Structure formats: C-alpha cells, structure tokens
Structure 1
Amino acid sequence: MKIFLTILFVFIILQRLIELIIASKNEQWMLAKGGVEIEPHQHKWFIMVHGLFFISIIVELILSNASIPELFILWFSLFIATQFVRIWSITSLGKYWNTKIIILPGSTLVKRGPYKYVKHPNYIIVGIELFVIPMMFGAYWTAVIFPFFHLILMSIRIPAEEKALTSLND
C-alpha cells in the first residue's frame, strides 16, 4: 500500500506540473491575442502556498511516521470525484483556463460546464483537495492548515477576478 501511496503522491505532483504547463501555454495564447494580466503580484502567493502544501505533507509524514488512514477509501473516493470536477472545470474554460488573472478584451464570460451552476468551481475544488489530499496520507495538520491558507488567498483573488471579469462587459 505504501508503494501505491507514493505513486499517488507523485501522480498528484505531476498532474499539477502538467497543469502549470497548460496554464503557461494558455497564458501565452491569451497575451498574444491581446490579453491583459491583472494583479500579477498575486500569482507568487499561489505558487508558494501550493508548493509548501506538498512539502508540508512530506514533512508531516516523516515527523509523525503516519500510517495509512482507516478512512483511506473514503478520502480516495472523494479525491477521484474532485478530479472529475477539476478536469470538467479546466476543460470548460479551454484556452481561457489559467492560474493567473488574465482578461482577453472582447471575449465573453464562459457559462458552460460547472460554470453554468457556480462562478468559481475550480476554487471550490482546490479548497476541497487541500483537505482531502492530506487526509488520504494521514497528514492531518496539513489538512487543517492549508484550506485556511486557501480561504485567505481566495478572499483576495476572487474580488480581484470578479472586478476584472466585469470589465469584459464594459
């Protein structure tokens, strides 16, 4: 089971790195089309929190010598469910999906996929993941601390993004 957990952890990190590559390509496309990045200073905080998230899991597991949680199947099932919604969110935005706030003048707000029902589904999923992923590995402190950091970041990010998105309609 520990080999499976190691493979799962590496998979999650690789998934995030691939998403950063996709975001970078989307950023280049949007900027080439006249996109404008809003509040670029915010992005470094996201990179820092998400990088520290994975480090925190590793450090916590080393220090606590954690064992596989009894509720692993529950946490793993929730993780799989979040991945479906995560992928649905990203693919619904297509080339507009990014880890930065980039506005492409003349474009319209995406209202398909989960965006038809919720304004920021990916942010909700990330918040859930920041709890569920550490729980899968028995990193309980990380599961408590990092969703809190996410809420702090979202309290700054969402208003900035909403303001930028409303400028599309001006």
Structure 2
Amino acid sequence: MTDSLWWYVALVVLVGLERVAELVVSLRNAKWSFSHGGVEFGKGHYPFMVVLHTGLLAGCVVEAIVSGRPFDPRLGWTMVAVVVTMQALRWWCISVLGYQWNTRVIVVPGLGRVTRGPYRFLRHPNYLAVIGEGIALPLVHSAYITAIVFTLLNAPLLAIRIRTEETALGTVLTR
C-alpha cells in the first residue's frame, strides 16, 4: 500500500473511533432520557442506519484499496477539510443538545425543542454533518462509488429519520 493509502486508512479508523465515542455518549444519554420518562420512536430504521454507517467506513477502505486510484491532492485535502468541519459540526450538535442528543430517537416530555447553537440555523444540523461526511470521507481517496452508494441509500433513510423525529417531537412535546 502507498503512504497516502495508509494515511487514509488511519483517517477512516479515526472516524470509526469517533463513532464509538458517539455510541458511548448515546448510551449514557439514552439511560438518562429513559430515567426521565423518555419515549423512543422509530426503532425499525435504526439497525439499517447502523449497517449503512458501518458500510460507509468499510466501503471507503475497500474501494480505495481495490481501485488502486492514486491520491488526488486537490480533491483529497479539500475533502479532509470537509470531514474535519463535519466532525466539528457534529460535536457542536452533541454539545448543544446535551442529554437530549442520541443516535436513536428518544424524546423526553417537557424538555422542548432546542433552538440554540446550530439549531438556530437548521432544524436538523446533525444530518448536514452526516451528508457532508458521507460524501467527503470517501472522496478523500477518490472512493467515488462508496460516496454515491452511501448518498443514495442514506437519502431515504434520512427522510424516514427526519419524519420520525418531527413526529416524535410533535407528539411528546405537545402532551
């Protein structure tokens, strides 16, 4: 493997470790939410989301190795900047939502909708981070097929996810 490919695999592993950190935070927040009367919605789509996001990481590495495409510095470094920016946005969302943030859709009655931080500008800024990363991470090392497949599979999942969150917030927050 080339040096650029080793660095790319290291980047994908770092993103994977970031995902593990998210899951740790998510489990802590779920425990807190359920202890405060939280209600979970949309359990059916969650396993597909886990498989899709795991597939993104695996697809990045496999396609980069199998395709043998060289690292394109102009595209690659631009996409690294996008990946880093999307990680910053994701953690901004996590920090602003606090215990209300989760990888699952769990709503605690009475807490209300968060409208500060990135939520001042977008209703679902975390999904902007997901979309941006799903395109940028594969393109760091020209894994075009992974970027396209993830984006096409992620679009209907996000539609379901956003609809589920909106319904959940409308149902629980208006009680």
Deviations 1:144-166 (A, max 9, x none): 11112111101111111101111
Query: Greater shift after overlay, 78-87 or 159-168?
Result: 78-87
- CA deviation profile, 1:27-50 (whole Å, cap 9, x unmatched): 111011111111211211110100
Q: CA deviation at 1:169?
A: 2.2
Question: What is the distance in 1 between the residues matched to 2:164 and 2:12?
Answer: 32
Distance, in Å, in 1 between the alignment partners of 2:41 and 2:145 is: 33
How far off its partner does 1:61 sit? Answer: 1.8
Structure-1 residue corresponding to 2:174: 169
Instruction: Please name the residue that 2:22 is paired with.
Output: 19
Aligned residues: 170
Secondary structure of the structure 1 residue equivalent to 2:140? helix
Aligned position for 2:101: 97
What RMSD, in angstroms, separates the aligned Cα atoms of the two structures? 1.3
1:63 Cα deviation after fit: 1.7
In the other structure, the counterpart of 1:112 is 116
Q: Could you say which residue in structure 1 is the equivalent of 2:13?
A: 10
Whole-angstrom distance in 2 between the partners of 1:76 and 1:62:
18
Pairing 1:148-159 to 2, within 5 Å after superposition: 148-159=152-163
Amino acid at match of 1:19: E
Aligned to 2:56: 53
* Offset at residue 20 of structure 1 (A): 0.9
CA distance in 1, matches of 2:43, 2:145: 30
TM-score (norm 2): 0.92
Q: Are 1:67 and 2:81 matched, yes or no?
A: no
Q: What corresponds to 2:138 in structure 1?
A: 134
Structure 2: gaps spanning 5 or more residues: none
Once the two structures are overlaid, the 10-residue window that deviates more, 5-14 or 153-162, is: 5-14
Report the equivalent of 2:45. 42
Segments of 5+ residues of structure 1 without an aligned counterpart are none
CA contact (8 A) 2:138 2:146 kept: yes
TM-score (norm 1): 0.94
Aligned partner of residue 95 in structure 1, secondary structure: helix
Distance 1:83 1:58 in 2: 19
CA shift, 1:106, in A, is 1.5
Moved more, 137-146 or 56-65: 56-65
Q: Share of identical aligned residues, percent?
A: 33
Match of 1:30 in 2: 33
Cα deviation for residue 66 of structure 1 reads: 2.4
